[in-house]
Structure 1
Amino acid sequence: MTSRPALGKIGIWTAALKTDYAPSEQVGEAVAELEELGYGAVWLGGSPSPDQAGVLLDATSRITVATGILSIWDHEAAYVAERHTALNAAHDGRFLLGLGVSHSALAGERYQRPYTAMKEYLTALDSAPTPVPAAQRVLAALGPKMLELSRDRAAGAHPYLVTPEHTAKARDVLGKEAVLAPELKVVLDTDLDRARATARDYLGRYLALPNYTKNFKRLGFEDADFADGGSDRLLSAMYALGDAETIRARVDEFLAAGADHLAIQVVSDEQALPREQWRTLAEALPLDKS
């Protein structure tokens, strides 16, 4: 049986390491430092291509590189399977394929029957000349049906914008063996009002996407929580706000709820790669620094 890439307990989720946003040399330096700091994985956001993930793999030797997530509407399955095989052959099996159905606002008219489309995409990966083993792919799953698919036809799930309560429910659906690697947004700022403003400014873009608001309602939130960038209650649930120790406590909640791995996304007002924040968190989080 093909083994799945090792993730460690803590990884970094970021779209800023895409070469769309930063030069290859800068990207390489940043991801190499993440590896040295002891993070187990880097999740490349923004529907990256396998070749963009390859830039990160080329710059490192140990860390797992995952797509978080690759949209099935943007990348043909046959191409993805071919590149997946080539990248893993060249980089000791360190590439994990994270797949998702994205959102109707982003995919447009292509967004038809997303659950069925994901099943068909997985079948295409299975039947490609160079198949992608189930152990080397995870799904961006929020609701029960996609979580079940993550359990049955992938290594597990990579839920985005969720809570420890969602993590516990996802673990119940996935069972003990499947990997559960949720994402958590953090704002490293001890000024709570300012931290909330930063968080609210970023969260607003997601509140226009029904996939997320539907999941929030499953967790007990209401329409009133979605107004003006999100209520304080919603922000407190979806973010860790404060100093590194406060964030560590929230990380421990996710791990205790059943997460095998947590993908940390640093949210800040800065446009550059948040390398200083990654360093600060590395001192507080349970990383493998060996």
Structure 2
Amino acid sequence: MTDHQFGPFGISTGLDSSEQSIEAARAAEALGYPAIWLSGGPLPGLQTIVDLVGATTSIKFVSGILAVVRYSAADVSTTYAALEASAPGRFTVGLGGAHGPKPLATLNAYLDEIDVPMERRVLAALGPRMLELARDRSAGAYPFLISAAYAAEARKVLGPDKLLSVSHLVVLESDADRARAIARDTIGFFPRIPGYAASLERQGFSAKDQAELPDQMVDALAAWGTPADIKAKLTEHLDAGVDHVAVNVITGVTGPQPVEQWRALAPTLLA
């Protein structure tokens, strides 16, 4: 396994340039989390990354992910260069979102154009061909919504020397019914997306499973319970060959960043 100085556990969340987001990033840094993986969907633009890096002092940021159909290679290269000059080593470029009939060709062409060192870029990857591309043309892979068992398969494709970072859903709730209900609300959206449906099928979850979301499927894709329970579940990924788990806390409600949950988890995850 490789060491990108992210530590075993970081945070996956959506942030913008608002004061609330900046304070959340500062809180994560103060708690000792080594990295924040910025969810691509909620990201308003590249300036947000610049703002967050500038508002903090040491925590690393990874775009997880920038959709290559939305952000030009030139703009991403310029942003990376500016941050490398002002805050060296604190921004890693995560890329994906090559929607369309030829995603591999689209990503390959983008990687030909982008001016970011291979060791400072990672690819969102679920299937074997995308994992191979991540192995051959980046520092590693950043899959979402995978089980620890599938992570072990991903490690085999990547080989021993590439970064494997996984975004994993976390519910800080000990009531099983409540925790699984919160997880289902999030997981249930993804079988509608062809790439995720195919990924879930590769992991052994049938069309029936994807429609009904049985307990065993939810429990494979989301960690819930006490901080100790959650760490034990996330450690299954580390044992399977994952280098870093980006903790994606979900609460079942929209609202402020889950700083209180990050705070409750920190003493256990970062011990």
Bin the TM-score by the shorter chain.
over 0.9
Give distance in 2, aligned partners of 1:213 and 1:32.
36
CA contact (8 A) 1:5 1:64 kept: no
What SS does structure 2 have at the residue aligned with 1:182? strand
Give distance in 1, aligned partners of 2:123 and 2:16.
20
Partner of 1:90: 86
| Structure 2 residue identity aligned to 1:216 | L
Residue 122 (structure 1) shift: 0.4
Partner of 1:213: 197
Alignment RMSD, CA only?
1.6
Partner of 1:116: 105
Residue 53 (structure 1) shift: 1.3
> What is the TM-score normalised by the length of structure 2?
0.94
Partner of 1:222: 206
Partner of 2:223: 240
Once the two structures are superposed, residues 2-46 of structure 1 have per-residue CA deviations (whole angstroms, 9 ceiling, x without a partner) of xx953121110011x223xxx2x2212111111121111001103
CA contact (8 A) 1:5 1:136 kept: no
Partner of 1:128: none
Residue 231 (structure 1) shift: 2.1
Question: In the alignment, is residue 31 of structure 1 matched against residue 29 of structure 2?
Answer: no
Q: Number of aligned residue pairs: give it.
A: 267
Partner of 1:272: 256
What SS does structure 2 have at the residue aligned with 1:92? coil
Question: In the alignment, is residue 202 of structure 1 matched against residue 192 of structure 2?
Answer: no
Once the two structures are superposed, residues 120-142 of structure 1 have per-residue CA deviations (whole angstroms, 9 ceiling, x without a partner) of 110011xxxxx210011000011
Residue 269 (structure 1) shift: 2.2
Question: How do 1:176-195 and structure 2 match up within 5 A?
Answer: 176-195=160-179
| Structure 1 residue identity aligned to 2:225 | G
What SS does structure 2 have at the residue aligned with 1:180? strand
> Displaced runs of 4+ in structure 1, greater than 2 A?
46-50
Which of 8, 13, 38 is the equivalent residue of 1:44?
A: 38
Give distance in 1, aligned partners of 2:148 and 2:188.
21
**Could you list the runs of 5+ residues in structure 1 that have no partner in the other structure?**
105-110, 126-130
More off after superposition, 60-69 vs 46-55? 46-55
What SS does structure 2 have at the residue aligned with 1:121? helix
What SS does structure 1 have at the residue aligned with 2:243? coil
| Structure 2 residue identity aligned to 1:29 | E
> What is the TM-score normalised by the length of structure 1?
0.88
What SS does structure 1 have at the residue aligned with 2:125? coil
More off after superposition, 53-62 vs 253-262? 53-62
Once the two structures are superposed, residues 120-166 of structure 1 have per-residue CA deviations (whole angstroms, 9 ceiling, x without a partner) of 110011xxxxx210011000011111111111110000111111111
More off after superposition, 40-49 vs 158-167? 40-49
Give distance in 2, aligned partners of 1:80 and 1:192.
42
CA contact (8 A) 1:5 1:96 kept: no
Question: How do 1:134-213 and structure 2 match up within 5 A?
Answer: 134-213=118-197
CA contact (8 A) 2:32 2:270 kept: no
Partner of 1:10: 9
CA contact (8 A) 2:11 2:35 kept: yes
More off after superposition, 198-207 vs 246-255? 198-207
| Structure 2 residue identity aligned to 1:189 | E
Once the two structures are superposed, residues 193-249 of structure 1 have per-residue CA deviations (whole angstroms, 9 ceiling, x without a partner) of 111111111112212111111111111110111115x22221111000211111010
CA contact (8 A) 1:241 1:247 kept: yes
Residue 81 (structure 1) shift: 0.7
Give distance in 2, aligned partners of 1:9 and 1:88.
24
CA contact (8 A) 1:181 1:259 kept: yes
CA contact (8 A) 1:185 1:238 kept: yes
